Amino acid sequence: MRRGVVVFLITTVVVLGFAVHHVWTLLMLLVVTGREDQISRAELPAPNSGAIIEQPQLIPKIIHQTYINDTVPDHWKGPQQSCLDLHPDYEYKLWTDKKSREFIAAEYPWFLETFDGYPYPIQRADSIRYFVLHHFGGIYIDLDDGCNRSLDPLLAYPAWVRRTNPTGISNDAMGSVPRHPFFLKAIDSLPEYNRRWILPYITVMGSTGPLYLSLIWIHYKNAKPQDMDRLRILFPDEYNNHPWSFFTHHLGNSWHNNDVKVIFWMAQHWVMITIIGFTMGFALLWCCYSTFVLQRQASANAGAKNRYAYSRIPFYRRISSKEFPLDDRHEV
Ligand SMILES: *[C@@H]1O[C@H](CO)[C@@H](O)[C@H](O)[C@H]1NC(C)=O
């Protein structure tokens, strides 16, 4: 093989290795199922079963929700009320924008600058839920999630989140004891992930939203937490759609805009996008290589004008070795 080609292949491998290392956590999200941490339906007592009172209560009986102010819009009053009705013995905390900011300023002042600096309000609504779970413990529920049965059985686990399809976890219903190491990691990593991407949806997802929490989850799992620190996972069947499920989901992601369609399309076609990405990267590398190395050689080589034009095509020179006799190998 020509030395130039070897250099090109090595460069490609190094660059690819770097890229894969960079997106490794994202790639792991595609294969990690969380099955080993599943809260299985078999271990959950049925609604109204006498077995529920025999379970330990680790998570404090607090329900947290968030909204701009105290005036919850009519379309969310139904779901909100369903949770209040099923949990008369729980404390209820509605985190308005004003209360959230006061809470961060008082309890986590190191985060206030990041919190105030978020360009999208949903980033504040996302992040505040990790802080209140870390501080008070309890169960956070999105306003568009209604309750289908008492959440008491879920108080028996130190911390849980819910699994989403096709990959990752969501931040719309989560429970935790105060100061659980998973939520500690979730609040501690927020400043580091506070980056802006081109699409607002990616910025929100990746800096504070479900994608952010899923990446934290992968890192947390990789660190092999002790059994008592495990983050348990509620799977879709236990989340909604069945009589024994805990929640009812009401569509209402008011902040989603057109980026969502792009992201969902990308999620569905990720194999193709990965291949195109790597092909484009490969082509780009080759262009750089041919521009800076081959062209210089080509112009230095009298009478080899054709070669200039073709040098951008990978391996062209090997194929056309008749045209360019092997005795010019030493020049590369
Ligand atoms: C609460 O926020 C909503 C949405 O921005 C607004 O329409 C409403 O007037 C606010 N209510 C109060 C009491 O400020």
Which of residues 259, 277, 294 is at a domain's end?
A: 259
One domain for residues 183 and 73: yes
Is the beta carbon of 71 within 6 A of some atom in ligand 1?
yes
Is the beta carbon of 253 within 6 A of some atom in ligand 1?
no
Determine the structural domain holding residue 19 and report its residue range.
Answer: 1-31+269-312
Tell me what pLDDT residue 323 has. Answer: 46
The whole model's pTM is what? 0.77
Tell me what pLDDT residue 154 has. Answer: 96
One domain for residues 137 and 279: no
Asked whether residue 109 is domain-assigned, the answer is yes
58 in Cβ contact with 155 (< 8 Å): yes
* Å from CA of 138 to ligand 1 middle: 27
Tell me what pLDDT residue 131 has. Answer: 98
One domain for residues 48 and 169: yes
135-144 average pLDDT score: 96
CATH number at residue 69: 3.90.550
Asked whether residue 202 is domain-assigned, the answer is yes
Is the beta carbon of 98 within 6 A of some atom in ligand 1?
no
* Å from CA of 69 to ligand 1 middle: 6
One domain for residues 103 and 144: yes
Question: Total structural domains in the chain?
Answer: 2
Beta bridge partners of 233: 38, 161
Question: What are the tokens at 126?
Answer: 């996302």
- Say if residue 117's pLDDT is above 50: yes
Residue nearest to atom 9 of ligand 1 (CA): 71
Of 66, 67, 68, the residue with max ligand 1 atoms within 8 A of its CB, to mutate for a pocket test, comes to: 68
Asked whether residue 320 is domain-assigned, the answer is no
pLDDT > 90 in the chain, percent:
52
Of 66, 67, 69, 96, the residue with max ligand 1 atoms within 8 A of its CB, to mutate for a pocket test, comes to: 69
Q: Among candidates 136, 142, 133, which has minimal Cα distance to 171?
A: 142
- Say if residue 314's pLDDT is above 70: no
* Å from CA of 96 to ligand 1 middle: 11
Asked whether residue 319 is domain-assigned, the answer is no
Is the beta carbon of 258 within 6 A of some atom in ligand 1?
no
* Å from CA of 97 to ligand 1 middle: 11
Tell me what pLDDT residue 254 has. Answer: 45
Residue nearest to atom 4 of ligand 1 (CA): 68
One domain for residues 149 and 89: yes
Could you list the beta-strand ranges (E) of the chain: 62-66, 91-95, 138-141, 145-147, 159-163, 169-176, 232-234, 247-249
Spatial separation of the C-alpha atoms in residues 134 and 182, rounded to whole Å: 9
What are the distances in angstroms from CA 213 to CA 158, 172, 173, 331?
A: 17, 11, 12, 53
One domain for residues 101 and 183: yes
